[in-house]
Chains A and B, each alone.
Chain A
Amino acid sequence: MTDLLYRFRAIALAFLLIVATAIPAFAGPFEDAVAKFANDDFSDSDEAVGIIATSGNPQAFAVITALQEGRLSADPDSKKVYLTGTDGKVTDAATGEAVAEVPASAAAVRLNNRLRRNIESALGGLTLMSPDPAKRIASAQSVFKSHETAMLPVIEAALEKETNKSAKQAFTEARAAILLYKEDATEAEKIESIAIIKGRGDQDALALLTSLPADQTVGVARSAASAVTAINSRQTLWSIGQNAWYGLSLGSVLLLAAIGLAITFGVMGVINMAHGEMVMIGAYVTFVVQDVIRTSYPGLFDYSLLMAVPLAFIVAGLLGIVIERTIIRFLYGRPLETLLATWGLSLVLQQAVRTMFGPTNREVGNPSWMSGAFELGQLTITYNRLWILCFTLAVFAILLAMLRYTSIGLEMRAVTQNRRMAASMGIATSRVDALTFGLGSGIAGIAGVALSQIDNVSPNLGQSYIIDSFMVVVFGGVGNLWGTLVGAFSLGIANKFLEPVAGAVLGKIAILVLIILFIQKRPRGLFALKGRAIEA
Chain B
Amino acid sequence: MITNLTHAIAKPISRRSLMAAATGLALGLSAFSPAKAADDTIKVGVLHSLSGTMAISETTLKDTVLFMIDQQNKKGGVNGKKLEAVVVDPASNWPLFAEKARELITKDKVAVVFGCWTSVSRKSVLPVFKELNNILFYPVQYEGEESERNVFYTGAAPNQQAIPAVDYLMKDEKVKRWVLAGTDYVYPRTTNKILEAYLKSKGVKQEDIMINYTPFGHSDWQTIVADIKKFGSAGKKTAVVSTINGDANVPFYKELGNQGIKATDIPVVAFSVGEEELAGIDTKPLLGHLAAWNYFQSIKNPENEKFIKEWQAFTKNPKRVTNDPMEATVIGFNMWVKAVEKAKSIEADKVIDALPGIEAKNLTGGTSKMLPNHHITKPVFIGEIKANGQFDVVWKTPALVAGDAWSKELDGSKDLIGDWVGKKCGNFNTKTNKCGGQGS
Which residues of A are interface residues toward B (Cβ below 8 A)? Answer: 2, 42, 70, 110-114, 116-117, 120, 203-204, 206-208, 210-211, 242-243, 246, 249-250, 253, 350-351, 354, 358-366, 371-373, 380, 382-385, 454-460, 463-464, 496, 499-500, 503-505, 508
Contacts and interface: CB of A to CB of B under 8 A. Distances in A.
B265 to A, nearest CB: 8
A504 B224 contact: yes
Contact of A460 (B53, B184, B234, B257): B53
9 contacts: A112-B394, A116-B264, A120-B264, A207-B233, A361-B277, A361-B279, A366-B282, A464-B219, A505-B214
Contacts of A354: 51, 55
B31 interface: no
Given A208-B235, A249-B222, A253-B220, A456 B247 contact: yes
B350 interface: no
B288 A116 contact: yes
Contacts of B227: 500
Contact of A246 (B55, B223, B230, B233): B223
B233 A454 contact: no
A359 B59 contact: yes
Nearest to B174: A114
Contacts of A457: 280
A385 B56 contact: no
B258 A372 contact: yes
Contacts of B258: 371-373, 382-384
A504 B233 contact: no
Interface stretch (B248-256, B363-371, B428-436): B248-256
B394 A42 contact: yes
B280 A362 contact: yes
A361 B51 CA distance: 14
Q: Kindly list the 4 A-B residue pairs having the minimum CB-CB distance in the complex, ordered from nearest.
A: A211-B235, A361-B280, A359-B55, A203-B233
Interface in B9-58: 50-51, 53, 55-56
Most buried by B among A111, A207, A250, A361: A361
Contacts of B56: 359-361, 458, 460
Contacts of A382: 222, 255, 258-259
Interface size class of B (residues with CB under 8 A): 35 or more
B179 to A, nearest CB: 13
A359 B410 CA distance: 37
A500 B223 CA distance: 7
Interface in B61-85: none
B1 interface: no
Nearest to A382: B258
B335 to A, nearest CB: 28
Contacts of A246: 220, 222-223, 226
Interface of B: 50-51, 53, 55-56, 59, 171-173, 184, 212-215, 217-220, 222-224, 226-227, 229-230, 233-236, 247, 250-251, 254-255, 257-260, 263-264, 267, 276-277, 279-282, 288, 290, 384, 387, 392, 394
Given A363-B280, A382-B258, A455 B219 contact: yes
B277 A112 contact: no
A70 B387 CA distance: 10
A464 B51 CA distance: 16
A477 B220 CA distance: 25
Nearest to B172: A114
A249 B282 CA distance: 22
A70 B279 CA distance: 21
B316 to A, nearest CB: 14
Contacts of A113: 173, 263-264, 267, 288, 290, 384
Where chain A touches its partner, the secondary structure class is: helix
Given A203-B229, A505-B214, A380 B259 contact: yes
A496 B223 contact: yes
Contact of B264 (A117, A373, A458, A508): A117
Contact of B51 (A351, A456, A458): A351
A112 B51 CA distance: 38
A498 to B, nearest CB: 10
Most buried by B among A250, A366, A454, A459: A454
A513 to B, nearest CB: 15
Contacts of B281: 361, 363
Contacts of A114: 172-173
A508 B215 contact: yes
A250 B277 CA distance: 25
Nearest to B288: A113
Most buried by A among B250, B260, B277: B250
A203 B238 CA distance: 14
A70 B388 CA distance: 12
A116 B384 CA distance: 12
B234 A372 contact: no
Contacts of B290: 113
Contact of B171 (A2, A111, A458): A2
A364 B254 CA distance: 12
A456 B280 contact: yes
B394 A460 contact: no
B267 A361 contact: no
Contacts of A120: 264
A211 B226 contact: no
Most buried by A among B56, B257, B276: B56
B210 to A, nearest CB: 11
A330 B384 CA distance: 56
Given A456-B280, A460-B56, 13 more contacts: A111-B288, A113-B263, A113-B267, A113-B290, A114-B173, A242-B226, A250-B220, A360-B280, A361-B56, A380-B259, A455-B251, A463-B53, A508-B215
A361 B215 contact: no
Contacts of B224: 499, 504
Nearest to A120: B264
Nearest to B290: A113
A353 to B, nearest CB: 11
